[in-house]
Copies of this chain bind each other. A is one copy, B any other.
Amino acid sequence: MNTFGRTLRLTTFGESHGEAIGGVLDGFPSGFAIDPSVIEDALERRRPGKSRLTSIREEMDYVHILSGIHEGVTLGTPITFLIKNEGFRSQDYDALRNVYRPGHADYTYAMKYGVRDVRGGGRASARETAVRVAAGALAYEWLKTMGVEIFTYISSIGHLELEDTLWNQPSTPEYLDYLRSSRNHIPSCPDQALSEQMAEIIEQMREEGDSVGGVISCRVVGLPVGLGEPLYDKCSARLASAMMSINAVKGFEIGDGFRMSKCRGSEVSDEFYLRDNNIRTKTNHSGGILGGITSGEDLTFRVAFKPTSSIHKAQQTVTTQATPIQLEIQGRHDPCIALRAVPVVEAMTALTLADFYLSLLGSKASASQCNSI
């Protein structure tokens, strides 16, 4: 339930406003030199309060590594990290103790567990994703040594949608540079002009006490042929599950996805040809997956985020005693949750792909292959 993965397994713990949140990453290769600053960097990208577009809460996420790394090198034992919960104002949540917020897990958790931690949503809070980002940063470091690079970026906010005619084509170095540039923008959309328009929309939402949804796109380059297991552990199936496990995600599509359902077969046939003596496809409508297994083409997928459910506008709801009530949520909330989810999508992608990759190599191969000592 609170564990993700098979060969590489992340178990997370901690309530949003408890003492700390954290995770245990088991199955990571031994003998791998890790610079802990990669974790801080990844968390920094997720942190609220970074720009005026996100929540103005100051979550200082210092990661403390408790086990699994000694003298800068992984031991092959579980890597455990803690992130203290500080700078919270649990009193913001006192008003919510006896009410079910629309769109949140308040009601379903209360029904399922009989008891509920109202402080900031408990486990259902997006704060838990900080742990995923920390673990994902480690997985990504390992993937990089295998030649894998992950590009994650905002492709739409509300009705503002990135035009991207190269989405279903094999990538070029120029195109990858373009995607890479998204990191310099807030929101991290590669098209700078569009990014600025997106920023305006989000600012407007904040002013109106409203929120807006968005889509995150992801492209992974450098994967080998063969990641994924038939028939129920397809790479696409596990990625879908990984993405749907992120707060506020409502949709997942791979390659051309839903657009493909409107096409003819002759329009989206990814014909095979030889590129640099490798068997590759001329186009990539399939998104780098054939029969659930990576084909060596870029892996591409999109993830749909709903607008933040916490808005300042008045909403009708009921109390825990089932009395109708009007609710106006106070506090500092992100007007567009998709913005901060970019490193979370990257992290879940890294964890999913590293899991498959390590299973392909086996525990022996992975240990020695990564042994950089």
Decide: A268 and B226 in contact? CB cutoff 8 A: no
The residue in chain B whose Cβ has the minimal distance to the Cβ of A232 is B4
Number of interface residues of A (CB under 8 A): 150
Decide: B213 and A273 in contact? CB cutoff 8 A: no
Q: Which of B78, B279, B359, B360 contacts A318 (CB 8 A)?
A: B279
Q: Which of B14, B211, B272 contacts A67 (CB 8 A)?
A: B14
Expressed in whole angstroms, the Cα–Cα distance for A245 and B236 within the complex equals 8
Decide: B304 and A213 in contact? CB cutoff 8 A: no
| Set of chain B residues within 8 Å of A308, measured between Cβ atoms | 265
Q: Which of B80, B215, B226, B324 contacts A14 (CB 8 A)?
A: B80
Decide: A15 and B70 in contact? CB cutoff 8 A: yes
- What 0/1 readout, one digit per residue, does chain A (1-20) give for beta carbons within 8 Å of chain B? 11110000101111100111
Decide: B245 and A232 in contact? CB cutoff 8 A: yes
Are A362 and B366 CB-contacts (below 8 A) given A24-B13, A67-B19, A316-B273?
A: yes
Interface residues of A (CB under 8 A from B): 1-4, 9, 11-15, 18-22, 24, 26-27, 30-31, 66-68, 70, 73-80, 82, 100, 102-109, 111-117, 119, 122-124, 128, 156, 158-159, 205, 210-215, 225-226, 228-234, 236-245, 249-258, 260-274, 277, 279, 281-282, 285-287, 290-295, 304-311, 313, 315-318, 322, 324, 338, 358-368, 371, 373
Decide: B263 and A1 in contact? CB cutoff 8 A: no
| Set of chain B residues within 8 Å of A322, measured between Cβ atoms | 274, 277, 279
Smallest beta-carbon distance A224→chain B, Å: 9
Q: Which of B1, B20, B228, B360 contacts A27 (CB 8 A)?
A: B1
Q: Which of B74, B226, B271, B315 contacts A108 (CB 8 A)?
A: B226
Decide: A77 and B26 in contact? CB cutoff 8 A: no
| Set of chain B residues within 8 Å of A158, measured between Cβ atoms | 261-264
Decide: A112 and B226 in contact? CB cutoff 8 A: yes
Smallest beta-carbon distance A309→chain B, Å: 6
| A4, A31, A253: residue with the most chain B Cβ atoms closer than 10 Å | A253
Expressed in whole angstroms, the Cα–Cα distance for A292 and B4 within the complex equals 15
Expressed in whole angstroms, the Cα–Cα distance for A295 and B106 within the complex equals 10
Q: Which of B103, B107, B277, B361 contacts A365 (CB 8 A)?
A: B361
Q: Which of B66, B108, B113, B315 contacts A18 (CB 8 A)?
A: B66
